[in-house]
Chain A
Amino acid sequence: ELKVEQNPLFLSMQEGKNYTIYCNYSTTSDRLYWYRQDPGKSLESLFVLLSNGAVKQEGRLMASLDTKARLSTLHITAAVHDLSATYFCAVDGSSGGSNYKLTFGKGTLLTVNP
């Protein structure tokens, strides 16, 4: 069974600081996704990472993927309050033949304080 672990689960940061969220997964997979969820809202797709060494950046967020280590990171640079949200990573079940089935981590609740 594919397992996805995120850490930390809770992250409180000050504006202007940098931090990294980690996502480990247990079996090989073709795709890794990062999503943002605001309270009571749906999931907003941030990044789709497809290959080893992939790095994508959007604004203050940068995601990377190491398929050999089965690890993805979401790095936050110079955090601002607007980044406060819950961030999820998700992996598809391609190694088990069910690449349509996303398995999610428990999420990281990020709070950026002024």
Chain B
Amino acid sequence: NAGVMQNPRHLVRRRGQEARLRCSPMKGHSHVYWYRQLPEEGLKFMVYLQKENIIDESGMPKERFSAEFPKEGPSILRIQQVVRGDSAAYFCASSREGGGYEQYFGPGTRLTVT
């Protein structure tokens, strides 16, 4: 049973470019969460999605960031016009149900903005 998959594992973008991060949840999981980890910090919640719905995006920056979890395919975290401050590790987690079920984390995507 494959775990949470994320790709790419490493992504380098120049300032102003777009970054697309993908997350495939564990089989049987329909709830996806994105977290961001800045250097030497803990993870911070960004957004919680179910299939075709954004449940809570209170941790997402208001501009340039968006997330989706379509009916088919992986969840996508999209960052437009990246800036150096976006450099971080982005982790996706999934759970079988929402509301406190244990979240399983993927390997992360490490974004570097040059």
**Is B74 close to A, CB under 8 A?**
no
- A78 CB → nearest B CB, Å: 27
A105–B44 alpha-carbon span in the complex (Å): 9
Of the residues B41, B99, B100, B102, contact of A45 by C-beta under 8 Å:
B102
**Is B25 close to A, CB under 8 A?**
no
Most central of A88, A90, A100, A107 by chain B CB within 10 Å? A100
How many interface residues does A have (CB within 8 Å)? Answer: 25
**Is A31 close to B, CB under 8 A?**
yes
**Is A71 close to B, CB under 8 A?**
no
How many interface residues does B have (CB within 8 Å)? Answer: 27
Of the residues B33, B100, B107, contact of A31 by C-beta under 8 Å:
B100
Residue of A nearest to B97 (CB): A100
Indicate if the CB atoms of B105 and A92 lie closer than 8 Å: no
Contacts of A103 in B (CB 8 A): 45
Given contacts A92-B100, A100-B31, contact A42 B91 (CB under 8 A): yes
Given contacts A106-B42, A107-B42, contact A99 B104 (CB under 8 A): no
Contacts of B100 in A (CB 8 A): 30-31, 92, 94, 99-100
Contacts of A4 in B (CB 8 A): 42
- B82 CB → nearest A CB, Å: 21
Indicate if the CB atoms of A101 and B104 lie closer than 8 Å: no
- A67 CB → nearest B CB, Å: 15
